A and B are shown apart, each in its own frame.
Chain A
Amino acid sequence: QVQLRESGPRLVKPSETLSLTCSISDSSISNYYWSWIRQPPGKGLEYIGYISYSGSANYSPSLKSRVTISLDTSKNQFSLRLSSVTAADTAVYYCAGRGQFFQYWGQGTLVTVSS
């Protein structure tokens, strides 16, 4: 069973960059597409973007100017960077895997944007 685990700072200051890493266990990063999805407290799910095993990335247009998703195949990890954050970026951030739909999910990590 594929396991995903998010890691990174839980508190980020406004205007700074949010950085998270997802570690993949029991699967090669080459097997699937890998995504980031977020959920503001008490709200619904928002797709952020994905990266394929070849390194090709796709981002939600609403976040595209601020988002970078990258792969580290040597560590079996992928990462999210979201720049110029505001309070509106406060959310639980999930990493997920498979393809255009999401079969595998991490437990999620709450990232709060606050000074």
Chain B
Amino acid sequence: DIVMTQSPDSLAVSLGERATINCKSSQSVLYTSNNKNYLAWYQQKPGQPPKLLIYWTSTREYGVPDRFSGSGSGTDFTLTISSLQAEDVAVYYCQQYYNSPWTFGQGTKVEIK
């Protein structure tokens, strides 16, 4: 199985400041034949199901604010919230879908400082 490791486990950021979450995979999730990284990001608020934010590393799901962006390739990926809003308090998960079983990172909790 591909192991997904996120860092940090939690972070506190001031409103309007940048939040950066890292995700590292135990093997590359880049499919060279189409040059796509099989990596998605989700946001989960308390008592709610996860919500898809980004797929193919950097494609925002419809309706997701553009303050959310994804980047990276191979084994190292980043989710950036450019200007943290109060409604962004949540746990964020990365997920690889390069190899079955699809696997998730352990989650990163984002709070307001």
Query: Residues of A with Cβ closer than 8 Å to B?
Result: 44-47, 58-62, 94, 99-103, 105-108
Contact = CB atoms under 8 A, between A and B. Distances in A.
Q: Tell me what chain B mostly uses at the interface: helix, strand, loop, or mixed.
A: loop
B93 A101 contact: no
Contacts of A99: 97
Contacts of A100: 38, 97, 102
B61 interface: yes
Interface of B: 1, 38, 40, 42, 48-52, 55, 61, 93, 95, 97, 100-107
A39 B68 CA distance: 24
Nearest to B41: A101
Contacts of A46: 104
B40 A101 contact: yes
Contact of B101 (A44, A61, A94, A101): A61
B7 to A, nearest CB: 14
Most chain B CB within 10 A, of A47, A101, A103, A108, is at A101
A101 B49 contact: no
18 contacts: A44-B93, A44-B107, A45-B93, A47-B102, A47-B103, A58-B100, A59-B101, A60-B100, A94-B49, A100-B38, A101-B52, A101-B102, A102-B40, A102-B42, A102-B52, A103-B52, A105-B51, A108-B49
A62 B38 CA distance: 22
A7 B97 CA distance: 27
Given A45-B93, A94-B50, A101-B55, 16 more contacts: A44-B107, A45-B50, A45-B95, A58-B101, A60-B101, A61-B1, A62-B101, A99-B97, A100-B97, A100-B102, A101-B40, A101-B52, A102-B40, A103-B61, A105-B49, A105-B51
